[in-house]
Amino acid sequence: MKVIDTALPGVRIIEPQVFGDARGFFLESFSARRYREAAGIESDFVQDNVSRSAHGVLRGLHFQRTRPQGKLIQVVEGAVFDVAVDIDPQSATFGQHVAVELSADNHRQIWIPPGYAHGFCVTSDTAIFQYKCTDYYDPADEGGLAWNCPELAIPWPIQAPILSDKDRRHPGLREWTRAQAR
C-alpha cells in the first residue's frame, strides 16, 4: 500500500493494494499492524460508521470538542470531495485544509487524526461513505464550522449543497475561535 503525507500534520492519504482478477477485486481496508507500521496509525478504533448520501449532499464540518475522533475514511460506492481542516489554534497550519477525492474507483482512504474538523460533499449520483473512529460519538460534545466560511476558502466542487439543519447553523472560523477564547 502507498501512504502519502499531506500539508497537515498527521493527515495521510492511503492507497491500499488492490488485487484485481476476473471476479472483481480484493483489498484489505484495515490491518492494525500494517497501518501502524506503514501509516503511523497507532489507534484503537472503537466505532465504525456508514452513511449514504445523494449527489450534492454536504456533511460537515464536524468535530468533537473534548473527545476528538481520529477517522479512517473510505468510499465504497460513488465519489466524494473530502476535507480535513486544522482547528488547533496553536498549530502552524491552523485554518488550513487538505482536500482529496475519495471514490469507489480510486480506493483511496484518508486518515484524519483526532483534532481536525472534517466534512465531505458527494460528487457522484450517490455515495456510500464508511469510516472507523477512535472514540465514541457523543452528541453533547459535537462541534461544527460553517462549510462555506470564507477564511477556510475550501474549493468545494458544489455551489449549493444539500445540508442538514444543524450544518446550516455552524459558526465561521473566526467566530468559533473567539468563542473558544472566552
Ligand X SMILES: Cc1cn([C@H]2C[C@H](O)[C@@H](COP(=O)(O)OP(=O)(O)O[C@H]3O[C@@H](C)C(=O)[C@@H](O)[C@H]3O)O2)c(=O)[nH]c1=O
Point out which residues bind ligand X (CB under 6 A).
Answer: 49, 51, 59-60, 62, 118-120, 137, 164
Q: Pick the closer one to ligand X by CB: 62 or 107.
A: 62
Contacts 24+ apart (CB under 8 A), 91-97: 91/9, 93/7, 93/8, 93/9, 95/151, 95/152, 95/173, 96/7, 96/8, 97/8, 97/152, 97/154
* Active-site pick, 35, 62, 118, 170: 62
- In whole angstroms, give the CA distance from residue 47 to residue 176: 27
Provide, rounded to whole angstroms, the least separation between the CB of residue 142 and ligand X: 7
Q: Which residue is nearest to ligand X (CB)?
A: 137
* Active-site pick, 35, 116, 118, 131: 131
Q: Pick the closer one to ligand X by CB: 108 or 118.
A: 118
170 is a catalytic site residue: no
**Other residues' Cβ atoms within 10 Å of the Cβ of residue 46:** 12
35 is a catalytic site residue: no
Provide, rounded to whole angstroms, the least separation between the CB of residue 57 and ligand X: 9
Any idea which residues carry the catalytic annotation?
A: 62, 131
